[in-house]
Amino acid sequence: MTLDTVKHAAETPDTDQPWAELGLKQDEYERVREILGRRPTGAELAMYSVMWSEHCSYKSSKVHLKQFGQKVPENDAMLVGIGENAGVVDVGQGYAVTFKVESHNHPSYVEPYQGAATGVGGIVRDIIAMGARPVAVVDPLRFGAADHPDTKRVLPGVVAGIGGYGNCLGLPNIGGEVVFDACYQGNPLVNAGAIGVMRHEDIHLAKASGAGNKVILYGARTGGDGIGGASILASETFDDAKPSKRPAVQVGDPFQEKLLIECTLEAFAEKLVVGIQDLGAAGLSCATSELASNGSGGMRVELDDVPLRDSTLSPEEILMSESQERMCAVVEPEKVERFLAICEKWDVTATVIGEVTDGDRLEIYWHGEKIVDVDPKTVAHEGPVYERPYARPAWQDALQADDAGKLPRPRTGDELREQVLKLVASPNQASKSWITSQYDHFVQGGTVLAQPEDAGMIRIDETTGLGVAIATDGNGRYAKLDPYHGAQLALAESYRNVAATGAKPLAISDCLNFGSPEDPAVMWQFSEAVRGLADGCLELGTPVTGGNVSLYNQTGEAAIHPTPVVAVLGVIDDVSRRTPIAFADEGHLLYLLGDTKDELGGSAWSQVVHDHLGGLPPQVDLGREKLLAEILISASRDGMVDAAHDLSDGGLIQALVESCLRGGKGARIVVPDELDPFVLLFSESAGRAIVAVPRSEELRFTDMCGARGLPATRIGVVDGDTIDVQGQFTLPLSDLRAAHEATIPSLFA
């Protein structure tokens, strides 16, 4: 077979090319030909096909995501925004923190262990590529029905993959979520988030500048795994008729990644790196075209120099391979020797594969012949942009009209008691410790809070006690009922969770998981969710620093619930002031903060007791969320509260059970006169939290709430070894613990 060189391509314009098999549409292929003024070579076609995939180019979502850049709140903390490997925020004392959430949904369904493992690997490389030491990971997960046989295949594999990879990397896993819903049956959501810490001056960017600088590929050798991961796997819906996509899943080696972390950080510390990019989706195609186009534009690469695991790989395959644990650095010629020496110290393979050139062409050679000659910007940044049609689905009105208010409610104390037990034992509300105990929480010695706390918290300075907190939240049920407010509720919950620990929310990252963009109803959900999130961030003053869009989470006609997952990052000046969720001391007074309304639409109660989804989600009042956050942060800093827990899915009773079990102490609850006991316990009104206040602080605390206008209702006291809702029911903690903790092991152990 003749090599398809640039010259050959120019001479053979009519050659048939496999653009459709590579995931390109006809008009996209025509556009490539127009850009190049000839047909693309096989290698060029490979590059455009992966870089113009939905996963890499955001072609369907871009027009909506622009809002994150337009509705930017005033916020001094933002150091690096959307577009880099991850956003960076200033957390004070000269420290910067980078964080991001990404999806690895499709691979994790096809091959749960490797899909989830490489999801962790990918997000961690994004963090190191910014110049930061990774300090923690979080994993928001969504699976099909807990009792579905396939969930028993997917969940244990995903959990083992996250643990197997993250534990071996030495990163504490401090948060995330596990949610079950039949809508995720064929499309589990495996999102992975990571946080990294650096000094301001250590921020690195993905750009190749300075003609003559060397391009070094280092890390694992390139193999045939993950070819087409971004295009064929992540950018199409699943369909039984198509062949298995397992070969498109990458295979991870966490040991190699650990070496990559240490070696990269050592090279940064010696200031050896001009620009850096990790190899993730679209592999070398992405790294070379992005590095070049973000710099001066010119780069020459000798593809023969890429170290291979399999010597029979074609140049197209080398360019498309998504082999894990690889990075690409741009290094000045006189520093190459030292860079390679550091790689050798860590037993990391490193090879100069090219150099930055004058001009604006990315040229790739194979066996001495030029097989790629493109303007890298056209590959990396000038992909197609679609204005996909979107329309509010016809069923939305009927769904919203199907009010949860009409569902039969418990009428006696005994019925309430039964439903409380049922709720806390339901898969979504049950303890996830069987899962989280498979993750290392302790490594690195900085973990202040980890799951099941409201947010994970890491100390980043041992002397001053400076710390950061992160929470991730998303409620697909709410978003299905109302995508605009559902996205804002995800934001509000995550924001509240961070504030409940005493940390000040600073910025967000998001992972937007939706069905097929080719369905106008899904596009409407997406556009509404993005609009809601952008408006919400503007109001809360928390910019979007970056994130990820995952579309095509759909099997046949059935899309998942729209599931925007929001990660909020917060900062706390002194971690010793943090507030845990545990009720640890008898006699402390329980105050319910915020307003409790009759809001059961999309609630955990409506799902668990009635298998119902309809009506409207709880109202959003972001002004109230801000006030609540301020109160929680002040109370934490000034030692006015001993415990705090946000109220969200499952309402007050869920929070009480979690806080009581965590601290091993019971609670006596008096239902306020103006509230119905059922509404008090199960409503999911937003903007609320429960706090435990030492008696000595009560006056100071209530004065503060009164002065700032936040409703604070005393509803009980930490006491005994039961949850006693007076006049209604009493439940021993031992019964609650048994109900809460048995569910997940009984399903998956």
Partner 1 sequence: MTARIGVITFPGTLDDRDTQRAVRLAGAEAVPLWHRDKDLKQVDAVVLPGGFSYGDYLRAGAISRFSPVMETVIEQARGGLPVLGICNGFQVLTETHLLPGAMLRNDSLHFVCRDQKLRVENAGTAWTADYTAGQEISVPLKNIDGRYVADERTLDMLEAEGRVAFRYLTEGDSADGYGNPNGSLRDIAGVTNEAGNVVGLMPHPEHAVEPLIGTGRTDGLGFFTSILKKLVNA
Q: How far is the CB of 259 from partner 1 (least distance, A)?
A: 6
C-alpha 91 chain-centroid distance:
20
Report CA Rg, the chain.
26
In the complex with partner 1, the residue whose CB is nearer, 16 or 462, is 462
Ramachandran sector of residue 273 (left: φ over 0; alpha: ψ -120 to 50; beta: rest)? beta
Spatial separation of the C-alpha atoms in residues 101 and 448, rounded to whole Å: 21
The tokens describing 734, both together, are 């031992």
203: nearest Cα among 90, 295, 290:
90
Going 372 to 376 to 379 to 384, the CA torsion angle's sign is negative
Ramachandran sector of residue 112 (left: φ over 0; alpha: ψ -120 to 50; beta: rest)? alpha
Helix (H), strand (E) counts: the chain: 25, 28
In the complex with partner 1, the residue whose CB is nearer, 181 or 253, is 253
643: nearest Cα among 707, 591, 711, 708:
591
Spatial separation of the C-alpha atoms in residues 138 and 197, rounded to whole Å: 15
Q: How far is the CB of 431 from partner 1 (least distance, A)?
A: 10
Spatial separation of the C-alpha atoms in residues 189 and 534, rounded to whole Å: 22
Q: How far is the CB of 411 from partner 1 (least distance, A)?
A: 34
Other C-beta atoms closer than 10 Å to the C-beta of 696 total 9
In the complex with partner 1, the residue whose CB is nearer, 394 or 749, is 749
Give CA separation, 30 vs 43, 63, 158, 375, in Å: 16, 22, 40, 16
Give CA separation, 704 vs 35, 200, 289, 501, 573, in Å: 63, 36, 55, 18, 21
Q: How far is the CB of 636 from partner 1 (least distance, A)?
A: 14
292: nearest Cα among 309, 311, 308, 277:
277
Q: Using the structure block, give the residue that is written with the tokens 């995939």.
A: 53
The letter for the amino acid at 312 is T
Q: How far is the CB of 442 from partner 1 (least distance, A)?
A: 4
In the complex with partner 1, the residue whose CB is nearer, 163 or 618, is 163
In the complex with partner 1, the residue whose CB is nearer, 425 or 620, is 425
Spatial separation of the C-alpha atoms in residues 337 and 298, rounded to whole Å: 23
Distance linking the first and last C-alpha atoms of the chain: 53
Q: How far is the CB of 662 from partner 1 (least distance, A)?
A: 10
C-alpha 290 chain-centroid distance:
22
Q: 544-550 and 326-331: which strand pairing? A: unpaired
Q: What is the 3-state secondary structure (H, E, C) of 376-428?
A: HHHHHCCCCCCCCCCCCCCHHHHHHHCCHHHCCCCCCHHHHHHHHHHHHHCCC
Non-local (6+) Cβ contacts of 270 within 8 A are 338, 342
In the complex with partner 1, the residue whose CB is nearer, 230 or 450, is 450
The answer to whether 87 touches 80, Cβ cutoff 8 Å, is: yes
State the catalytic residue, choosing from 64, 104, 106, 485. 104
Q: Is 77 helix (H, G, I), strand (E, B) or coil?
A: coil
Which residues lie near partner 1 (CB under 8 A)?
Answer: 160, 163-164, 167-170, 253-256, 258-259, 346-347, 436-448, 459, 462, 575-576, 578, 737, 741, 749
Any catalytic annotation for residue 148? no
State the catalytic residue, choosing from 55, 106, 588, 740. 55
Q: What is the DSSP letter of 121?
A: H
The tokens describing 16, both together, are 């048939």
In the complex with partner 1, the residue whose CB is nearer, 395 or 442, is 442
Q: Using the structure block, give the residue that is written with the tokens 């109900």.
A: 739
C-alpha 239 chain-centroid distance:
26
Q: How far is the CB of 100 from partner 1 (least distance, A)?
A: 22
Spatial separation of the C-alpha atoms in residues 254 and 50, rounded to whole Å: 25
Q: How far is the CB of 424 from partner 1 (least distance, A)?
A: 15
- 460-479: string of b/e by CB count within 10 Å (b at 16+)? bbeeebbbbbbbbbbbbbbb
Any catalytic annotation for residue 104? yes
Q: Is 522 helix (H, G, I), strand (E, B) or coil?
A: helix
In the complex with partner 1, the residue whose CB is nearer, 15 or 437, is 437
Residue ranges of the alpha helices (H) in 204-270? 254-269
Give me the residues paired with residue 351 across strands: 217
Other C-beta atoms closer than 10 Å to the C-beta of 239 total 9
Give CA separation, 509 vs 144, 502, 548, 557, 627, in Å: 25, 20, 8, 29, 22
Residues assigned a catalytic role = 55, 104
